[in-house]
Structure formats: C-alpha cells, structure tokens
Structure 1
C-alpha cells in the first residue's frame, strides 16, 4: 500500500510518460509520508471516447484522474502536500493543465490490508514489518531497485 489508479480520458500517455508518472507518484508518496517505495503500486487505464461524462454530458477534453488508497494515520497537511506534489508532477509530465487533473485520496486502516502475505503495519512501523519478510522477498525487492 499505497495503491494509485491513474485514469486518462481523451488522452493517450506514452509508456515513458506512464513510467515517469509512476515514479513521480512513488517518490511523492515516499517523501511526504516516509513509507517505503516498495509498497507503492500505480495502475493505468484509459476511457474510450464517449465513456466519460461531466455534468451528464460527454466530455471531449483531456483529463487525468488519480485515485489513491493509502494507510490511515497521516495529517491533513501531509495528505495535501502529497496531493499537490502529485498534481504538479502529473501536469508537467502529461503536458496538461492542473485544472484538468482530479485527485482523490482514501484512507484505509492498516489492519484492513494485506500485502506480501501479511497485514500491513501502522505508519512508521515499516522497518520492523519489513524484517519479517522472507529473505527471498527482501532480495526480490532489493533487486527491483525500489526504496527500502
């Protein structure tokens, strides 16, 4: 955890842009919350023309929606800084106005999440939790070159 879903409407992102956005979201989450980057996941999807409506009318303009599920326990200030950082980075990478990017964060208690086969720790307890991962999983994460 966190899990972010980036959905585009009337906009095709290149693989390079997707990689840059995923990296920017992971870095923003890590730097603002202190959570290890290896917990971050970013999924991309896009809507077909005519599948996105605003106010009951078909939207024909480019938009990006970022929905994030994060562990409960961060201050409003941290969450707003996180969202603002993501907003600015996604705008820069995708080349669209901040007014065309919508971001939503939802919090889930850590006791309601399982990753790597284990319930997640409370924020700030990741190091002890990480030590409980198998040596093979720790090696996988180290080889993936993610924040440890």
Structure 2
C-alpha cells in the first residue's frame, strides 16, 4: 500500500532520474519494512516554478510525501525516513534545504488494496492477507507469499 508522491517545483527530473527514484524508493521501502514490491507505488507530480513556496518565497524544491500503514516501530520509521532522504540526495543531489521528506501513517483498517482491507503489519496477518490475494488473483502474487 505505500504510496510515495514526489512533487517538484523548478526541478526537472529526467526520465532516468524518475526511473531510478521509483526503483530505489521501492527497494528501500521493501528492505526496511518487508512490504512486497507490487504494493509499493511511486507517483511524480512536477509543478512549474512559482506555485510552491517556502517561507513565503518561490524556491525550487522537492517534496517526498509517503503514506503507509501505521504500526511500525519508531526505529523502523526513522530508518525509512533517513534511507529515503539518502536516495533522493544520491539521485537528485539538491541542497538539503530544498528537500522535504514526510511519511504519514494510516491505520490498516482504513486502507484497501486488491479489494481487501489491509492487514496490520504483523507476519501472521500479512500471510493470511497474501493467501486471500492469491485466491483472488491466482499466480499474480505467488512469489511474495
């Protein structure tokens, strides 16, 4: 379920940078949380310079806003936050004051994917959810069970 939205203003990302960011954000989220890759989404929203402000002034900026399930430890959230920031810096190499990373959490009972409510982030609940998904979509998620 995690959805990462990268909004840029005055920063033109190349297709190669978008591809790399999408791949690295997916890998990072998977490595830190264990979430299966097919459920990690990355969306790019480019905006022209002049529609995003910092301290009331127009400045180039990049915001990575992530939404994911609640229930992970503070250590996991901190690791994810810092790892995502590092990915952005490696790929885009912006001044730190032009980059914002924010992660918002939503209770799993308020989320749906594949027509099923998401389980809490516990092993047993996720195994059962994947079993149900595999019944609904035979073979599609077999490698992730």
Provide the aligned C-alpha RMSD in A: 1.8
CA contact (8 A) 1:3 1:40 kept: yes
Q: Which whole-Å CA distance do the structure 2 matches of 1:25 and 1:95 have between them?
A: 15
CA contact (8 A) 2:3 2:42 kept: yes
Tell me which residue corresponds to 2:78.
Answer: 80
Q: Which whole-Å CA distance do the structure 2 matches of 1:140 and 1:48 have between them?
A: 38
1:110-121 equivalent positions in 2, closer than 5 A: 110-121=108-119
Tell me which residue corresponds to 1:42.
Answer: 42
1:1-148 equivalent positions in 2, closer than 5 A: 1-59=1-59, 61=60, 63-124=61-122, 125-134=125-134, 137-141=137-141, 148=144
Structure 1 unaligned residues grouped into runs of 5+: none
Q: How far apart are residue 36 of structure 1 and its match?
A: 1.4
Give the alignment's TM-score, normalised by structure 2.
Answer: 0.89
Q: How far apart are residue 138 of structure 1 and its match?
A: 4.7
Q: How far apart are residue 135 of structure 1 and its match?
A: 5.2
C-alpha distance after superposition, 1:16-45 (max 9, x if no partner): 111111111111111111221221111001
C-alpha distance after superposition, 1:37-80 (max 9, x if no partner): 22111100111121111111222x3x210001110101111111
Could you say which structure has the greater relative contact order, defined with CA pairs below 8 angstroms and 6 or more residues apart?
1
C-alpha distance after superposition, 1:92-132 (max 9, x if no partner): 11122333210111110000001110100110232221111
SS in 1 for 2:139: helix
Number of residue equivalences: 142
